[in-house]
Structure formats: C-alpha cells, structure tokens
Amino acid sequence: DGGITQSPKYLFRKEGQNVTLSCEQNLNHDAMYWYRQDPGQGLRLIYYSQIVNDFQKGDIAEGYSVSREKKESFPLTVTSAQKNPTAFYLCASSPDRGRITEAFFGQGTRLTVV
C-alpha cells in the first residue's frame, strides 16, 4: 500500500534533549512538509522540501531542523532550542511541483516533554 508513515506514534522527551521524528513516503512525491498542530491553532508549517537536498523554512522553523537526503524520507529533529515542543506533528507530501495539488498527511507523532 502506498502512503506516508510517521514514527513513532507517541514520543516522550526530557527537557534539553534533541529528538528526531521519522517520515517516510512511498508515493514518489516530490514535495514533503512538516506541520505542527496545537489545540485551537490549526496546522502551522515548520519546514518544507521540494526536492532532494533542498528545504526551506516555514512559519515556525525556530528550534527545528530537517534533512532531505532521499526523496522518500524527510526527518524532523526537535532540538533543545524549541521552547515549547509538546505538540502533535504531522508530515505531508504532495505529488506535483508543477501545480498546486492536494497534500497527503501521515498519521502524526504526538511529542510530549516530560
């Protein structure tokens, strides 16, 4: 089955630690995105990538980092510089760089700082 896989589903982090969230897609999509979801605030864009080895900051990139070494993978690292990392993180991909098309979402990772 084609789709976007995020892992783990739940993640706990101690304050001061970096943590990496995984996102893999087998849809052969060019573009991939990371969003953060907080209650009552919708989805906010953290980083996005159109092609391998290239990515751009979104609206709330501070305290996060990404890499795009392979087309199918777009991991997100939440660093200790992120002051309020507890949130639901969603990865998405879209198929066509030539026109705006729908974004397909993964099932999300819920990160909690303990």
Catalog residues that contact another protein under the rule CB under 8 A.
Answer: 4, 6, 31, 33, 35, 40-45, 48, 50, 56, 58-59, 90, 92, 94, 97-108
**Rounded distance between C-alpha atoms, residue 111 and residue 29, angstroms:** 26
Closer Cβ to another protein, 65 or 104, answer by number: 104
CB of 15 to another protein, least distance (A): 25
Q: What residue type is 14 in one-letter code?
A: K
Residue nearer to another protein on the CB measure, 26 or 101: 101
Tell me whether residue 100 or residue 114 sits nearer to another protein (CB atom).
Answer: 100
Nearest-approach distance from CB 42 to another protein, in angstroms: 4
Separation between Cα atoms, residue 64 and residue 67, nearest integer Å: 11
**Least distance in Å: CB of 43 to another protein?**
4
**Number of other residues whose CB lies within 10 A of the CB of residue 33:** 23
Name the minimum Å distance from CB 28 to another protein: 16
Q: Which helix (H) or strand (E) holds 23?
A: strand 19-25
Among 39, 3, 17, 6, smallest CA distance to 109 is for 6
